[in-house]
């Protein structure tokens, strides 16, 4: 860790008040920097969004990022540091639901990673080659994997119906259908040494409590409803053109942490321009469609002896799990995450018949025995501040571009889940990237001070 007092007299602007930006701002503030955070939304948290409005019994659920894995240490340490509590959930792991002749069929759960283990066996030659290549994204193994879609690979190995259905069921994980997902993304996941898939957590009281706690520990309030338009660098300073509630203005600092989604970064004007390869990296990266539906029923009909509380499915409504098992009350909330083409299917269901049409898709789980009390949904691809759930590596994405997503440009450092090498797509990836950006700012300032002092004058 850098010296927490080493940034006194240094000003830093952080663009984006999601977990990546807030983590960077929090850590930089602890090191003595004067930090200003700008955020285009009217709230902090970004894609961490706890919905409390409209639900009975004071219940809530996550419209954005939800689950914390057992081996995600960075977010766990950060939560402890700011005084928020993690609560265990979904201890039975995920089961899998596929289409049947007459009704959906529930297959064995993935407790202990059963589904992933089956896929790893099917992809064993590629997983072995990828591990031997040290999981490098700048070599021929990664490039060969990146050229191929998961769907094409399934054809090559003559995969059976069950294997194909499993990969379709993972749309809620990858936010992409097999035809739109690079084989490299799948093999990278399969090659990761992970602990059990049945010891998840979420933050008691709502995941947004972490974002709120981080923002509350900053010396300056986050500047909400403030959009970043342009970034210019000159003579060891960064100058930002922004548009806030009072119109356009200018901000200056010694360094900038760019913690916006890649979809927003590519809209910003940079002077000097980003290197060509970096521009292409941001331009080409896609974000997966993701519709999150929160259904509150008068009873928790999905709770039955011998059944799990979470399912990956190849159904139009995507994956689903108990959205508030840690909360009291007779009512309960079922969370549905429709990724890839399932997002489109879910939106069509809602357009035709509202939340009731989505609930009707749960008859196999017992929804006819319950009354729908409230519902909320968000389609992240329609959100103007992100245009997708999280980053997806599509077939043909140049794997060598990935490193450019996190590469500093002058006095501008990058953060966000899309820059994370190990936890891309997760809250933990956002947190780790924010910590990395803070370290990079510290190193940048230290190097600059050896040449000529900056800040504090």
Please report, for the domain that includes residue 111, its CATH number: 3.50.50.60
Whether 175 is in a domain gets the answer yes
Domain identity same for 192 and 336: yes
| Claim to verify: residue 121 and residue 131 sit in the same structural domain | yes
In this prediction, residue 456 has a pLDDT band, given cuts at 50, 70 and 90, of very low
Q: What 3-state class would DSSP assign to 6?
A: coil
Q: Are residues 197 and 68 in the same domain?
A: yes
pLDDT at position 452, please? 65
Residue 368 lies in a domain: yes
Q: Tell me: do 60 and 139 sit in the same domain.
A: yes
Q: Do 221 and 273 have their domain in common?
A: yes
Say whether pLDDT at 228 is over 80: yes
In a domain, 389, yes or no: no
Query: Which residue do the tokens 């006819």 mark?
Result: 368
Q: Which of 382, 406, 441 delimits the end of a domain?
A: 382
Q: What is the pLDDT of residues 58-86, one digit of tens each?
A: 999 999 999 999 999 999 999 999 999 99
Q: Strand 310-313's sheet: what is its strand order?
A: 105-107, 95-98, 310-313, 319-322, 332-339, 290-297, 372-379
Q: What is the pLDDT of residue 457?
A: 40
pLDDT, mean over the chain = 94
Q: Does any domain span residue 3?
A: no
**Residue 178 and residue 101 share a domain:** yes
User: Which of these three, 329, 358, 382, is where a domain ends?
Assistant: 382
Coil, strand or helix: which one is 361? helix
Domain boundary residue among 382, 413, 429?
382
Give dist(CA 61, CA 50) in Å, integer: 6
Is the pTM higher than 0.85? The answer reads yes
- Other C-beta atoms within 10 Å of 385: how many? 17
CB neighbour list of residue 187: distance below 8 Å, 6 or more residues apart: 123, 126, 127, 130, 145
Domain assignment present for 115: yes
Range of the domain at 215: 11-48+204-285+398-451
For the chain, what is the domain count? 2
Residue at 391 is within a domain: no
* Cα gap 287→380, rounded to integer Å: 9
pLDDT band at 111 (very low <50, low <70, confident <90, very high): very low
Q: Are residues 149 and 181 in the same domain?
A: yes
Residues 154 and 131 in one domain: yes
Contact between 214 and 26 under an 8 Å Cβ cutoff? The reply is yes
The angle that helices 161-169 and 114-122 make with each other, rounded to 10 degrees, is: 120
Domain shared by 316 and 224, yes or no:
no
Do 68 and 55 share a structural domain?
yes
Q: Within this chain, do residues 27 and 148 fall inside the same structural domain, yes or no? A: no
Q: What is the pLDDT of residues 266-287, one digit of tens each?
A: 999 999 999 999 999 999 999 9
Pair 25, 150 in one domain: no
Query: Is 24 within the bounds of a domain?
Result: yes
Q: Is the model's pLDDT at 196 over the cut of 70?
A: no
pLDDT higher than 90, residue 416 = yes
Q: Is residue 4 part of a domain?
A: no
């Amino acid at each position: 860790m850098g010296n927490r007092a080493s940034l006194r007299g240094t000003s830093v602007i952080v663009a984006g008040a999601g977990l990546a930006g807030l983590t960077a701002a929090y850590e930089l503030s602890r090191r003595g920097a004067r930090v200003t955070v700008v955020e285009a939304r009217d709230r902090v948290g970004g894609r961490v969004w706890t919905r409390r409005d409209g639900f009975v019994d004071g219940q809530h659920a996550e419209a954005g990022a939800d689950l914390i894995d057992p081996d995600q240490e960075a977010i766990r340490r950060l939560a402890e540091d700011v005084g928020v509590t993690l609560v265990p959930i979904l201890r039975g792991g995920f089961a899998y639901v596929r289409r049947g002749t007459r009704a959906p069929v529930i297959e064995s759960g993935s407790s202990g990673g059963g589904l992933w283990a089956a896929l790893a066996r099917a992809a064993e030659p590629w997983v072995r080659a990828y591990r031997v290549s040290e999981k490098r994204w700048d070599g021929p193994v990664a490039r060969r994997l990146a050229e191929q879609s998961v769907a094409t690979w399934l054809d090559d190995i003559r995969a059976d119906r069950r294997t194909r259905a499993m990969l379709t069921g993972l749309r809620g994980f990858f936010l992409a259908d097999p035809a739109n997902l690079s084989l490299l993304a799948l093999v990278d996941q399969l090659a990761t040494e992970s602990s059990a898939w049945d010891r998840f957590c979420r933050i008691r009281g709502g995941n947004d409590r972490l974002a709120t706690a981080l923002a509350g520990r900053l010396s300056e309030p986050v500047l909400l409803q403030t959009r970043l338009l342009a970034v210019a660098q000159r003579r060891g300073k960064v100058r930002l053109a922004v548009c806030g509630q009072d119109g356009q203005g200018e901000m200056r600092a010694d360094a900038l942490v760019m913690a916006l989604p890649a979809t927003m970064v590519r809209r910003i004007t940079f002077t000097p321009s980003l290197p060509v390869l970096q521009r292409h990296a941001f331009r080409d990266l896609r974000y997966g469609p993701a519709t999150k539906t929160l259904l509150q029923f008068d009873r928790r009909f999905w709770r039955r002896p011998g059944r799990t509380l979470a399912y990956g499915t190849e159904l139009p409504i995507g994956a689903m799990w108990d959205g508030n098992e840690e909360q009291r009350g007779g009512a309960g909330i079922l969370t549905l995450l429709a990724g890839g083409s399932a997002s489109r299917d879910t939106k069509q269901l809602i357009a035709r018949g509202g939340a009731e049409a989505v609930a009707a898709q749960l008859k196999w789980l017992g929804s006819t025995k319950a009354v729908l009390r409230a519902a909320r949904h968000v389609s992240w691809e329609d959100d103007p501040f992100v245009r997708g759930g999280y980053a997806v590596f599509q077939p043909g994405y140049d794997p060598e571009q990935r490193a450019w997503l996190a590469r500093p440009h002058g006095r501008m450092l990058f953060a966000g889940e899309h820059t994370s090498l190990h936890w891309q797509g997760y809250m933990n990836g956002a947190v780790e990237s924010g910590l990395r950006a803070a370290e990079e700012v510290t190193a940048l300032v230290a190097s600059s001070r050896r040449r000529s002092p900056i800040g504090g004058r």
